[in-house]
Structure 1
Amino acid sequence: MSSVRITPVADPTTTTPSWRKWAVRAAVPVAGVFLLLASLWLAVRITPLQAVTAAGQTVEVGAASPDFGPSGPAELDLFGQTISTQPDFPGPVRPRLRLTHITANAELQQLLGSGDHNSAGLLGRQLSEGWLRYGLWEGAVSAGIVVVVLSAVTGLRRYSMRRTAVVLLAGAASMSAVNVVGFGLLASGTPAALRHVHSLSDLVGSGGTGYPVAPADGPALGAVQAVVIGDSTAAGIGNRPLPQPDALDKACGRSADAFAEQLAAVNDWNVLNLACSGATVRTGLLGPQPAGPLSAPPQIAQLQRAPKAHVIIVSIGADDLHWADLTRFCAASPSCDDRATDAYFQQQTVAFVMDYRDLLTQLAALPGNPTVIVNQYYDPFGPDTSCLAAEGVDAAKAKTLQNRLDQLNTALRQGADAAGFTSVQPSFAGHALCSAEPFVQGPKDKAPLHPTAAGELAIALADQQALSVARSPGAATSSSSR
């Protein structure tokens, strides 16, 4: 009887094909690289920026998202707007800077040529040190992210304590090596480049506003207690004229209903209203402004003739962004949220915040430390746009315009906060354009979308409330009238 050999058959449920083993082995390094890059990406976003203070400014230093180019500009966050710096920085890892506080004296001395060179150079040295501190913090945060993720993986796979320790150490060491390459090699020239920064003007330019502005000629206006500077909203255009206007009052559209006049009546103040329709920061406040056949002198120059003014109210920004033109274009177009219009708006906003910083610096340098209030803009549309159908404005267009106005208000608020000023946003809730009692002039009125006399009063009340808060102990620097 012959013997029969029985060959054991492999259990398909317990045997892994060789190609799967190779696939798993190949996936491990790929997953490791992905983990390192993802940890780096996340760490750049959550690592706290490092604050440095020098040359009258406080700037937070961090890293922007890595770029694949060999060099390029850094990013400066100026009042909520991201601005590419003029100088380029070497490597794909570049700085991200955020201005959080400004004081005037140090930078004004530099602009006048009397600043201390060593003090000016201090900003660059501080930025360089802040960058190095940020690199250390980012390295620790990214390594911590890797350790947390690997701890979860080893726990799920029930690795031994020894094997777990080896995996965690290897992950932390690999992440540290990536950071050494990223900050130590690919961004090795960044500290030296930052040391050449003496002021923010070295990063983004001066803006061409020509500040500081010298006081205007003429006798001191010692009886003036408050000054309003700004555009047509502050001038009160479209409302009752002043009882005895001069030629410039008429050319600028200044009104007896302007909120400056309301504040004067309530507080028994002598208020100087320098606001002029069409004024921008560059042409109007820091520079002369054509006003019909006349030339209005810089409002800041006129303001300095009132050395005893203890309140300064600013209303500016809409004309810098060509708000009226954008509104008319939006009404005439099928849609106003196209890329070209948005790109134009962003370009104008960036130019505005650079000029706005010059204005804030000049205001911060005023003697006597007056209370400065920066007015934001009201919402003219509200939820109901039915009365604007004939003008081509529907709810979607109104929303687009309001979003852009919100962006301007963010810049106004953040700039005021950085300078230590008070920011106010008047509310026209329930009194928008299509309401029964609008605070906004309609399309057929003298100055469409500008405040009515009641709207000017609402602005005055919001400013009055902010003044009361600003003068109380421990006051916040921003407020809203609801």
Structure 2
Amino acid sequence: MPHRALARAVTALAALLATVLGVVLVPGTAQAATVNYVALGDSYSSGVGAGPYDLSGCLRSQKSYAPLWAAANAVTSFKFVACGGAVTSDVLDKQVSALSTSTTLVTITIGGNDAGFADVITSCRFGSTSTCTNAVNEAKAFATATLPGRLDRTYAAIRDRAPNARLVVLGYPRLFETNWCGWLAMSTYKRTILNEAADLLATVTAARAGAAGATFADTRPTFAGHGVCAADPWIRDVSGVIEAYHPDADGYRYGYLPALNAALR
């Protein structure tokens, strides 16, 4: 085959391979596909517990999993609108406006505050066993009966605003190890029923994410052995009112980030 014809054939083959592999070849370089990433959600996405925080009032930290992933993957654009304390209505009213048809990736943690996360933790940390049990049972009933509809509306709104995006819904970790860890710790029983509530919330969230065509990233395996009362905890105890029972910087880097990476494989 003449050299010029051979060169044209090689060029055509390279272009075909680039299309198949989802990359665009430029002489001397290879560029990954465009990634326009928007991070939505509550405090477990904004990075509460990791610090330091920006001045938005949402307690956003660059040590959260979202900015860590964006930095590691050299995304084309990154919008970080997750906000500490957010419930599903906040995502609908204040966050989905960051999405567009050009958005290619959306991540979110949401639902914990709807189910009364802070009140349940407070009741169990400072209340009696019966007070804790009642609070957990109320949260579980809400998670089963009411939360699914709220999650469905939230995921549908995300799909509507970002129809071309991949949606990854990240779950919440179990917060506690159940070994003995001192007289000042919550009882093993309280920690156990709180972990059971986390399991139920994960089950509900995974089901609704699946129904919406989203990918669910379960963080319980990556946090296993690193809850409160562990030798190397990645969850804060009552070290701060706002940061209590949220991941620390290690939790976001070694718990949440690997779960997101696994979900995107």
Shorter-chain TM band: 0.7 to 0.9
Within the candidate set 421, 424, 427, 2:214 is matched to 421
Aligned to 2:248: 452
Aligned to 1:183: none
State the AA in 2 paired with 1:356. L
CA distance in 2, matches of 1:437, 1:463: 22
CA distance in 2, matches of 1:339, 1:266: 42
> Compared with structure 1, are the counterparts of its residues 385 and 449 closer, same or farther at alpha carbon in structure 2 (3 Å cutoff)?
farther
Within the candidate set 80, 85, 88, 1:273 is matched to 80
CA distance in 2, matches of 1:315, 1:381: 19
Is contact 1:379–1:428 with CA below 8 Å preserved after alignment?
yes
State the AA in 1 paired with 2:84. S
CA distance in 2, matches of 1:416, 1:403: 20
Is contact 2:49–2:249 with CA below 8 Å preserved after alignment?
no
Within the candidate set 348, 357, 363, 2:142 is matched to 348
CA distance in 1, matches of 2:133, 2:227: 28
Aligned length: 226
Is contact 2:92–2:154 with CA below 8 Å preserved after alignment?
yes
- Whichever structure has more strand as a proportion of its residues is 1
Within the candidate set 260, 268, 271, 2:66 is matched to 260
1:313 maps onto 2:107 in alignment: yes
TM-score, with length taken from structure 2: 0.78
CA distance in 2, matches of 1:339, 1:264: 40
Q: Give 1:384 shift.
A: 2.3
User: Which range moves more in the overlay, 328-337 or 445-454?
Assistant: 328-337
Q: Give 1:442 shift.
A: 2.3
Secondary structure (helix, strand or coil) at the match of 1:286 reads: helix
TM-score, with length taken from structure 1: 0.44
Q: Give 1:268 shift.
A: 1.1
> Compared with structure 1, are the counterparts of its residues 339 and 459 closer, same or farther at alpha carbon in structure 2 (3 Å cutoff)?
closer
Is contact 1:313–1:373 with CA below 8 Å preserved after alignment?
yes
Unpaired stretches in structure 2, ≥5 consecutive residues: 1-33
Is contact 1:224–1:272 with CA below 8 Å preserved after alignment?
no
1:381 maps onto 2:192 in alignment: no
Q: Any idea what the Cα deviations from partners look like across 1:341-379, whole Å, max 9, x if unmatched?
A: 355324532222221111122223244421111111111
CA distance in 2, matches of 1:374, 1:414: 11
- Which structure's CA Rg is the greater one? 1
Q: Any idea what the Cα deviations from partners look like across 1:181-221, whole Å, max 9, x if unmatched?
A: xxxxxxxxxxxxxxxxxxxxxxxxxxxxxxxxxxxxxxxxx
Aligned to 1:462: 259
Q: Any idea what the Cα deviations from partners look like across 1:279-337, whole Å, max 9, x if unmatched?
A: 0001x1012xxxxxxxxxx1012223xx3221110101111111111111012233147
Q: Any idea what the Cα deviations from partners look like across 1:248-273, whole Å, max 9, x if unmatched?
A: 2xx10000201111101211123211
Aligned to 2:40: 229
**CA-atom RMSD in angstroms:** 2.1
State the AA in 2 paired with 1:362. A
Q: Give 1:467 shift.
A: 0.4
CA distance in 1, matches of 2:203, 2:43: 20
Q: Which has the higher contact order (CA 8 A, sep 6+)?
A: 2
Within the candidate set 169, 189, 194, 1:396 is matched to 189
Identity %: 25
Aligned to 1:74: none
Is contact 1:382–1:433 with CA below 8 Å preserved after alignment?
yes
